[in-house]
């Protein structure tokens, strides 16, 4: 399995936690180390095959996703040469002297082909396999019945396909086996810390999980006064794995309340991405006769395939019951995922858009009861067909600015790699949907011109009197996803209101329908202080126009009007510090607005640095920008959202200034308003939740 390629330093917090967990009660018998794989040789292990090389691995191997959770510097890792490589490692026999054998394990979950076995008299008496995660976690066997007997170990990798590797570290004999990561305990400890939701790189008005890894938004739905935000979540650590649905709710789309895990990985089947609907008429029969049930439709990933599953809730999404008839769709395929379901009023039925990821095909299904589905049609391959993957589709109808009463449909899908700014990103098509078939009117366009906006989906069931179509995306890129933050990883974008507008970015091209993304109006309520910045006499080099040093200064919005005149470029530098800045500017040569993060701070990955440009129109000599900055994020909305650039940044400085520049005296910045935005977290860590 490869998605990300390099490895930053393993998390300090994880290391400390493991040290605390393994310490054991005072006076207890000491643990006996079987191997910590810290040596430059395999020593007591006999190695065959090519998967292990001649010495233990120093963490992540070439082309492997980031490996974490091991102790010290090294581990035994069979990814040398990729998933194809196979091999066996056999340990010299040893005497059992403690009740348990414990070890850290990660890698693929293929019990017949991959794992670690305990042997007694040549027979396998215990075995374990990986968890489909590169994050190693504790596992242990009770072996008390073998005390005084001689046993040996065998680590084997006979798997050659995806996830065909196993990672093991720190094998010990112990009387008090380390507990696997316990979400509730670690979460409670984190809630008592001064850093709670307030680390220097923690976004303050963007949603992020309290601790651990998050990816795609899932199941966005409005119900009974609450906007639900489910998301891909690892309850066992700060790296991808054990995918489950995390949960948060909001009443205003700006303040979020973290809630307990909604849909867990179960029996080795992960809960991958999907959507949620409110079944107002109880068409599914899964209601309790009182309120309309919430129904989640998501991908079950495990046993070598991907199927579509249902779960339902009678208590406003707080607890979930897996549907007894799961799966509701099974094509016996390994790449069939991320169902988006909605009610299609004209044909009075549920419609699902779901992806055949590797084929770059979206299949549409219909159902009257959410449990039985019939194929309607297929769309694709389309867009950038020579690049991998389509994931997380969304399909919805939108109004058109300037064409009252007219609507068109948008089909959005996300590519795992090869998008406009590099790595993962979304494409969209604009066309018609008659309840059966989607037909595109024009070529595919990029959803966002930055590197960090992925897998957006829109809220379902927003009340008619509101009428907006609002989405959020994962503020990250698979290629550089192992961002330098701990104990959490990733945040969501700000919610964006969607509409279409027919425009031409330049005179040579015909006008097309462009997706406009506007920051939702609710965000204005977070402004707590606003100032107009003085932008007189601009030239090159950039001139400092304001500065700040309080942590609350690092979350703000800038409203800027640029007047490029005849200059080649004009713009701003934000979060500038010693040798650091992020530049936002207009570049005439590319007729676009760019975000340049080459020197924005920590470049944690070789592909992180760069400049990302979106086409931008100069309208009546001006370009209007709304720039949202939030400690480790920047989102630039160009001319009312005709173009967007979303990028993570990881500045290191505690003080910063904003600077402005202009290529010549014909260029100016007639308006520059700075609005400081309040934290949505309020830092109330005393209000512990169950």
For ligand FRU, the binding residues (CB under 6 A) are: 215-216, 232, 243, 272-273, 299, 337-338, 391-392, 455
* Closer residue to ligand FRU in complex, CB, 18/455: 455
Looking at the Cβ atoms of 216 and 647, the one nearer to ligand FRU is: 216
User: Would you tell me how many other CB atoms lie within 10 Å of the CB of residue 485?
Assistant: 23
Rounded Cα distance, 611 and 451, in Å: 10
Q: How far is the CB of 162 from ligand FRU (least distance, A)?
A: 13
Q: Quick one: 275 or 576, whose CB is closer to ligand FRU? A: 275
How far is residue 493's CA from residue 457's CA, in Å, rounded to a whole number? 11
How does strand 555-563 pair with strand 623-630? antiparallel
Q: Count the neighbouring beta carbons within 10 Å of the beta carbon of residue 182.
A: 13
Q: Are 84 and 160 in contact (CB under 8 A)?
A: yes
Identify which of residues 139 and 244 has a Cβ nearer to ligand FRU in the complex. 244
Whole-number Å distance between alpha carbons of 298 and 311: 8
Structure tokens at 305: 């395939």
- Asked whether 248 and 261 are in contact (CB, 8 A), the reply is no
Q: How far is the CB of 338 from ligand FRU (least distance, A)?
A: 5
Minimum gap (Å) between residue 391 Cβ and ligand FRU: 3
Q: Which two tokens stand for residue 211?
A: 């601790």
Catalytic residues: 216
Q: Which residue has the tokens 């997380």?
A: 392
Cβ nearer to ligand FRU, comparing 170 with 340: 340
Q: Rounded CA gap, 299 and 340, in Å?
A: 10
* Residue 588 DSSP one-character state: G
Q: How far is the CB of 217 from ligand FRU (least distance, A)?
A: 10
What 3-state class would DSSP assign to 68?
strand
Query: H or E stretch including 328?
Result: none
Give the nearer residue to ligand FRU in terms of CB position, either 336 or 350.
336
- Eight-class DSSP state of 9: P
Q: Select 246 or 643, whichever has its Cβ closest to ligand FRU.
A: 246
Q: Is 237 helix (H, G, I), strand (E, B) or coil?
A: coil
**Which residue, 243 or 500, is less far from ligand FRU as judged by CB?**
243
Of the pair 167, 299, the CB lying nearest ligand FRU is at 299
DSSP 168-199: EEEEEEESSPPPPP-HHHHHHHHHTSTTTT--
Let me know: does 411 contact 440? Beta carbons within 8 Å. yes
Closest approach of Cβ 662 to ligand FRU, in Å?
40
Q: Minimum Å distance from CB 215 to ligand FRU?
A: 5
Of the candidates 240, 231, 416, the residue with the CA atom closest to the CA atom of residue 335: 416
Nearer of residues 190 and 233 to ligand FRU, judged by Cβ: 233
The pairing of beta strand 488-489 with beta strand 569-577: unpaired
Token pair in block for residue 683: 């830092």
Residue closer to ligand FRU by CB (options 392, 523) is 392
CB of 643 to ligand FRU, least distance (A): 23
Tokens encoding 437: 């078939």
First CA to last CA distance, the chain: 35
CA pair distance 587, 567, nearest whole angstrom: 9
Per the CB < 8 A criterion, the answer to whether 450 and 645 are in contact is yes
Closest separation between CB of residue 622 and ligand FRU, Å?
37
Q: Quick one: how far is CA 579 from the chain centroid? A: 29
Q: Closest separation between CB of residue 478 and ligand FRU, Å? A: 7
- In our burial notation (b when 16+ CB lie closer than 10 A, e otherwise), range 126-155 reads bebbbbbbbbbbbbbbebeebeeeebbbbb
Would you say 471 and 398 are in contact if contact means Cβ atoms under 8 Å apart? no
Exposed e or buried b per residue across 321-340, where buried means at least 16 C-beta atoms within 10 angstroms of its C-beta: ebbeebbbbebeeeebbbbb
């Amino acid at each position: 399995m490869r998605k990300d390629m390099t490895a930053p330093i393993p998390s300090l917090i994880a290391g400390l936690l493991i040290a605390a967990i393994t310490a054991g009660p005072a006076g207890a018998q000491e643990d006996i180390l079987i191997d910590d794989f810290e040596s430059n040789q395999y020593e007591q292990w006999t190695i065959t095959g090519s998967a292990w090389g001649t010495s233990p691995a120093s963490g992540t191997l070439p082309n492997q996703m980031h490996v974490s959770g091991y102790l010290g510097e090294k581990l035994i890792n069979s990814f040398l040469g990729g998933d194809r490589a196979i091999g066996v490692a056999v340990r010299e026999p040893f005497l059992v002297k403690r009740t348990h054998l414990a070890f850290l394990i990660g890698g693929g979950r293929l019990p017949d082909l991959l794992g670690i076995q305990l042997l007694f008299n040549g027979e396998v008496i215990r075995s374990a396999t990986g968890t489909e995660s590169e994050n190693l976690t504790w596992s242990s066997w009770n072996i008390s019945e073998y005390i005084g007997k001689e046993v040996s170990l065998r680590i084997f990798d006979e798997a050659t396909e995806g996830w065909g590797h196993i990672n093991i570290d720190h094998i010990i004999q112990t009387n008090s086996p380390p507990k696997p990561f316990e979400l509730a305990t670690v979460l409670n400890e984190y809630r008592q810390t001064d850093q709670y939701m307030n680390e220097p790189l923690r976004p303050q008005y963007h949603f992020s999980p309290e601790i651990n890894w998050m990816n795609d938004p899932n199941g966005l739905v409005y119900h009974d006064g609450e906007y639900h935000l489910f998301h891909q979540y690892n309850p066992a650590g700060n790296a991808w794995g054990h995918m489950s649905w995390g949960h948060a709710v909001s009443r205003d789309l700006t303040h979020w309340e973290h809630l307990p895990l909604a849909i867990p990985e179960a029996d080795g089947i992960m809960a991958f991405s999907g959507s949620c609907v409110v079944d107002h008429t109880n068409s599914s029969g899964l209601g309790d006769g009182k309120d309309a049930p919430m129904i989640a439709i998501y991908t079950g990933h495990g046993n070598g395939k991907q199927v579509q599953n249902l779960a339902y809730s009678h208590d406003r999404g707080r607890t979930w019951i897996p549907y007894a008839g799961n799966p509701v769709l099974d094509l016996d395929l390994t790449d069939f995922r991320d169902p988006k379901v909605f009610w299609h009023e004209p044909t009075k039925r549920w419609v699902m858009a779901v992806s055949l990821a590797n084929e770059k095909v979206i299949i549409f299904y219909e159902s009257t009861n959410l449990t039985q589905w019939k194929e309607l049609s297929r769309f694709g391959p389309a867009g950038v067909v020579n690049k991998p993957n389509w994931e997380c589709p969304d399909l919805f109808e939108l109004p058109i600015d300037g064409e009252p009463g007219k609507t068109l449909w948008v089909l959005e899908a996300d590519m795992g790699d090869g998008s406009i700014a590099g790595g993962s990103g979304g494409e969209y098509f604009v066309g018609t949907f008659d309840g059966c078939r989607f037909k595109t009117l024009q070529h595919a366009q990029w959803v966002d011109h930055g590197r960090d906006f992925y897998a957006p989906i829109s809220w379902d069931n927003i009340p008619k009197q509101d009428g907006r179509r609002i989405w959020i995306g994962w503020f990250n890129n698979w290629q550089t996803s192992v961002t330098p933050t701990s104990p959490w990883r990733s945040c969501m974008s700000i919610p964006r209101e969607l509409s279409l507008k027919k425009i031409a970015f330049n005179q040579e091209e015909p006008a097309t329908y462009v997706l406009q993304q506007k920051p939702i109006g609710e965000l204005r309520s977070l402004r707590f202080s606003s100032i107009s910045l003085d932008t007189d006499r601009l030239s090159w080099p950039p001139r400092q126009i304001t500065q700040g040093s309080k942590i609350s200064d690092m979350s703000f919005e800038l409203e800027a009007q640029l007047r490029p005149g005849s200059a080649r470029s004009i713009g701003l530098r934000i979060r500038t510090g010693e040798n650091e800045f992020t530049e936002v500017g207009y570049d005439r040569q590319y007729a676009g607005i760019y975000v340049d993060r080459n020197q924005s701070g920590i470049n944690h990955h070789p592909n992180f640095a760069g400049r990302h440009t979106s086409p931008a129109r100069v309208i009546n000599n001006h370009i209007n920008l709304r720039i949202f900055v939030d400690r480790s994020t920047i989102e630039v909305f160009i001319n009312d959202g005709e173009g967007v650039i979303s990028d993570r940044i990881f500045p290191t400085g505690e003080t910063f200034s904003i600077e402005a520049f202009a290529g010549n005296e014909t260029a100016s910045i007639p308006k520059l308003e700075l609005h400081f935005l309040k934290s949505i977290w309020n830092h109330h860590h005393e209000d512990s939740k169950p």
